Each structure stands twice: as structure tokens, then as C-alpha cells.
Amino acid sequence: MSFDRYAIFETGGKQYQAIEGKTIAIEKLDGVAGDTVEFKDILFRKLGEGKIQIGQPHVEGSIKAKIIKHDKEKKVTVFKFKRRKKARVKTGHRQPLTVIRIETIQ
């Protein structure tokens, strides 16, 4: 895939690729649907053909995005047991996430 303008940013201890106009699911953020959020921890940015900036550790600028909705990931099932005993525990976990749409990369 060839994109003229994209960036790699960090939030929630993870790194994500931001492309203008695309929607991505990230770790849960505070806010309601329709709010605008700004990410300043940009690690890498490509602004055009031959214009690349690599941060050490960060690049100046920001990424503005709009919160689309809050959701949960697919359920992960955890099963614990102790052999030769009647101790069994089956639990599930759904990690909360936020779906955002990238608006601008500056």
C-alpha cells in the first residue's frame, strides 16, 4: 500500500499507524462519541514523497482524531484448573476500546 501522508503514534502503551480519513480501534480513551482528541506522541511521520521525519523519541506536531464510538473487543476465554482436584475456573474478558477516525496529521 502506498500512502502519501501517514504517521506512527503511541497511545495506551501501543503503537498505531494513522492515515488521514481511516478509522482505527485503539485502547479506551476518556470522552464521548463526537469529541475530538489530539495525540502528540508521534514517533514517525511521512508528509509526502521524500519527506520523512523520524523522532528521537518524538516528532513535533500532532494528530487530530474524532471519537466514533466506544466498544469491546472479541471475548477471550480463560480456563484455569488444578489437577487431581475439583478446582476449575472459566472466565472471559472483553477489553474496552475506542474507535476513532483520523482527521489531520500535522
- Tens of pLDDT, residue by residue over 73-83, are 999 999 999 99
pLDDT mean over 13-35? 95
- Mean pLDDT of the region 36-63: 91
pLDDT at residue 69, as a whole number = 97
Give the rounded distance of the alpha carbon of 31 from its chain centre: 15
CB 16 within 8 A of CB 9: yes
Closest C-alpha among 47, 53, 95, 106 to residue 71: 95
Entry pTM:
0.83
Across 43-81, b (16+ Cβ under 10 Å) vs e yields bbbbeeeeeeeebeeebebbbbbebeeeeeeeeeeeeee
Q: What is the pLDDT of residue 106?
A: 87
101: pLDDT strictly greater than 60 = yes
Q: Which residue has the higher pLDDT, 75 or 57?
A: 75
